[in-house]
Structure formats: C-alpha cells, structure tokens
Structure 1
Amino acid sequence: MQDPRLRLFSVIVISITAFSSLTGASLAFLWWLFCTNGLGLLRRSSWPLLAFIPLLLVTIALWITSGDWISYLVRLGVVLLIAIFAYQDQRPGEFMKVCSWAFGPVRGFDLGLAGEMALGSLRFLEGEIERVRQAFFVKGIPFGIQSVIPVSAGLVFGLLRRSEDQADLLLTRGYVRGGMACPRFSRSRSDIFVSGIAIFFFILGFLPVREFFILIQ
C-alpha cells in the first residue's frame, strides 16, 4: 500500500475484526492473504515469525488448564500476521509523516521520532539476525536453540549501545521537542479498494450471520 495513513487505518480496523471472534479472524486472514503482499514479505524475511513463540507458550498453558486455547491461538495468530505485515510493508519515514499529519509539528513530531527510532532498532535487529545466520552458514555451524541465548545476549547489548548513541546524537544536536515535517502522501486505487474491503469485513465480522443474509436479500 502506498498511502501509510490508509495502511494504518486498515490494519487497525482489520485487527479489531480479527480479535472480535473466530468469524472475524477468518475474514481478517482472508484480507491478509488476498488483499496484501504479507505472504510474499514473509517469504523474503521470516524472522518476525519469532513473535509467535510467546503466543504458542501461552496457548500451551491454556491447553493444559483447559482454557479456550483454539480461539485464542486463531484470533491472536491472525492479529500477529497483520502486525507483521504492517511492520514489513512500512518504509522509513512513514511513521513520522503520519504522526506529524495527525498530531501536528510538536506532539506528532515527538511521537513520530520515537516511533522511527523504535522501528529503526527493529530493522537493525533484522539485519543483525540475517548476518548471524550467514556467519553460522559459512562456518558450517547449525543455527539452533543452543545458539539462541548467546546470540540474543549479543543482540540486546548491540541495541542498547545503538540507543545510547542515538540519545547522545540528539543531545549533541540540541534537540528539545517538536520539529518541522512536511508530509506528502500518494494513494492508488488499490489502497482505497483494500481499505474498503477491511471496512466491509469489519462490519461483516460484527454482524450476525442470519442478519447478514436477511440484509442481502
């Protein structure tokens, strides 16, 4: 999607739909599968799927305690897929543009700057993970669970050093609050179509099936 405002709106609407019920989750999954390039983005970079590990752990706990684990797994799983798509389809600077457009040059700029720094850290983490995998492959070392702990520790320390460097840079440049951003947006017909489908599925997800068939007659 070209317009980040429509992408954010669609993601929020369809995430609410997915979390509402199993029917809503099914509709949201169809939206993710056919209306976005989420599957193609995952094929290019699958590391965000690590976010499913905590979900699976909680699902196992619900299964052991006889909770409604199926509904939890399906609804939260679809929400995670949508969130991963929103992250992977986002381009640097878009969050700053949307926040400045929505909240103005002071609060919007501050919020956008914080968001861009967080997303930049995630992109840094993505690049580091890919480099670690390549290094393990070149050395012929299997990249398994036994490697996760030392690698994770190194990545965490790297992120902390990066955050400290960014804070020092802002301090050196005399940043206090607010700033000037001139956001420009472009949208395509497909953006409007995808957003319209998200709204339609949102309405359909909260509409009882019987009333829906009465409505279309």
Structure 2
Amino acid sequence: MPLRQVLIAPHTAIETVHFPEEGFVSITTDEPSGRVEIGLIGQEGLIGAAPILLDDDRSPHTHFVQMAGHMLSIDVAVLRAEVERRPALRRVLHRFIQVQFVQTAQTAFANARGNTATRLARWLLMCHDRADGDQITVTQDFMSFMLGVERPGVTAALRVLADGGFIRKYRGIVEIINRDGLLDLAGDSYGRAETEYARLIEGRFEPNI
C-alpha cells in the first residue's frame, strides 16, 4: 500500500476491505473548512470494518495510507459470507469496531482538553504503536494537517517535545527516543482505546483507567 493511497473514498461503495500487515492508515473527516484525522488503524485492525459489518456499504470518511507498507485484501462479499459462517470471526471483528468507537471518542476528548503538545504526543504514540521501529516518516505540514492546527503551532509543539528529550526531529522524520516521556505528556488523552483493545481483542486484562 503506497503512501497516500486512498483505500476508501467518502460516500463511495466499498468493494474491498484491507488488513494492514505493515504501515498504517488514517481515517479523516473532510469538510469545506478542512480535513482532520479521526482514526488510525494498523496491523491490529481491518480497514472498512465498521460500515461493512454494520450493514452499510460506504463511509462518509476518507481512509488513506499514512505510512506505506503491505496489506491483505478481501472482497466484501467474501468477508460477509465468512462472518456469517464463523461466529467467532464476527465476534472479534465487532469487538474491533468497538475499539474504533473508543479511539474516536478519545480523539474528541484529546482535541477538546489537550494543548497542541499534548495532542501531538498522543498522535506520535499512536503512530509509534503501529510503526516498525522508532522512526516515523512525517512532515510538519502533514502533522498540521492531521491535528487540524496551523504549522507554527506544530513547530512549537515539536520544540517542546525535542527540548524535553522525547523525540529527535530530522527532515521528514520524527524519531521517538523517550516513549515514557511522551506517555507522561499525553496523560489521559492516550491509553483508553489501547486498554480496550488489550481487553477485548487480546483478553489480557481488565481496564484500570
């Protein structure tokens, strides 16, 4: 899946859904006033799960490749047939949809309560969760675009993170060097969806936040 490839266009019938094996995909809401990211999916999930498994055939949101990688794809009709035939598959995919809902709600919380540095720390943690290694290929313009803030605000937030020893910034690359520091800065804007994923999909523990 090449960088910036649109996998699902808004208000367009979905014919294929995708399981990323490497890289990750942004879900954005696109309005005349601009575009903002509302979700992020990597190898933990399925691109197009919510509309297809909730008896719709399209999404109002754009799903595009934010970090290039590889994916497996399956025809919508085949997936629906398998879900009907395999209750365990239906159960785990419905649980993933619930995790997506939680992630979107947590994004709304972060946008309402966090400053730009806090929101950027959360966003970098989410990218780091899905990246292969500590380096994330991203420009300041793209971070501004995803967070819905002006570029000077992103520049200032990156300086806060770099001065705190949490990241190193190169041209077109952010390297995570202190994840614990990012976690402290992000605070309760990060972790709810991740805990729910561990509980619902991995069955690892009950939520404690």
TM > 0.5 fold call:
no
Counting strand residues as a fraction of each chain, which structure ranks higher?
A: 2
TM-score computed with the length of structure 2 as normaliser: 0.25
**Normalized per residue, which structure has more helix?**
1
TM-score, normalization by structure 1 = 0.25
Structure with the bigger RCO (C-alpha within 8 Å, sep 6+) is 1
